[in-house]
Amino acid sequence: MNKAIFFDRDGVLIKAIVKNRKPLSIKNIEDINFLIDDNELFFKLKSIGYKLIIVTNQPDVARNEISRKFVEKVNSIIIKKYKIDYAYACLHDDISNCSCRKPKNGLLIKAQKDFNLNLEECFLIGDRWKDITAAKSSGCKSIFIDYNYNEKKPKEYTFKVNSTLEAINIILKYDEQKS
């Protein structure tokens, strides 16, 4: 079986647009701002056996504010930069009651099957309680990046940090200690 790191997208790999301390997804390609400059860190994660997978909620598609194509374009730019293995996106809003919108764990379960993952060996990095809840119900470890958004915070996570860089360093260190 394989192991993976699940990355939420906005606020983890690229900057979210924050308004009134609430994070929003970007709506223009020009708004892509990468949060990690050093691509080598991602290659390092791959070299110690992790698949790199994006799991992202993009409800603005269901709200007709952006297109599915736009989501795919942004994802492909990120995939290329960080050599991400795959991006799973939920394009629904709450009203669809789908099984993929985080806090549900449908995207993680889909990835588990596609990549034959041992979820207990996986990490999820996210900046909102919905990410962390999806991780918990999947049995994978979670790293909460706390930007102090004006919303409910997750109560249970494996680690809490202030940046994506810190999160990646925790995983690298964790792996070192294990081997």
**Among Zn ion, Mg ion, none, what binds residue 154 when CB lies within 5 to 8 Å by partner kind?**
none
**Smallest gap from residue 52 Cβ to Mg ion (A):** 16
Beta-bridged to residue 18, according to DSSP, are 23
In the bound state with Mg ion, the residue whose beta carbon lies nearer, of 120 and 151, is: 151
The answer to the question of residue 8 lying near Mg ion (CB under 5 A) is: yes
In the bound state with Zn ion, the residue whose beta carbon lies nearer, of 90 and 143, is: 90
Beta-bridged to residue 6, according to DSSP, are 53, 124
The string of DSSP codes covering 60-109 is TTTTTSS-HHHHHHHHHHHHHHHT-SEEEEE---GGG--SSSTTS-HHHH
Q: Binding residue for Zn ion (CB under 5 A) from 4, 100, 170, 171?
A: 100
The answer to the question of residue 128 lying near Zn ion (CB under 5 A) is: no
The answer to the question of residue 60 lying near Mg ion (CB under 5 A) is: no
* Non-local CB neighbours of 15 within 8 Å, separated by 6+ positions: 26, 33, 34, 35
Q: Binding residue for Zn ion (CB under 5 A) from 16, 90, 125, 132?
A: 90
Question: Where does this chain bind Zn ion (CB under 5 A)?
Answer: 90, 92, 98, 100-101
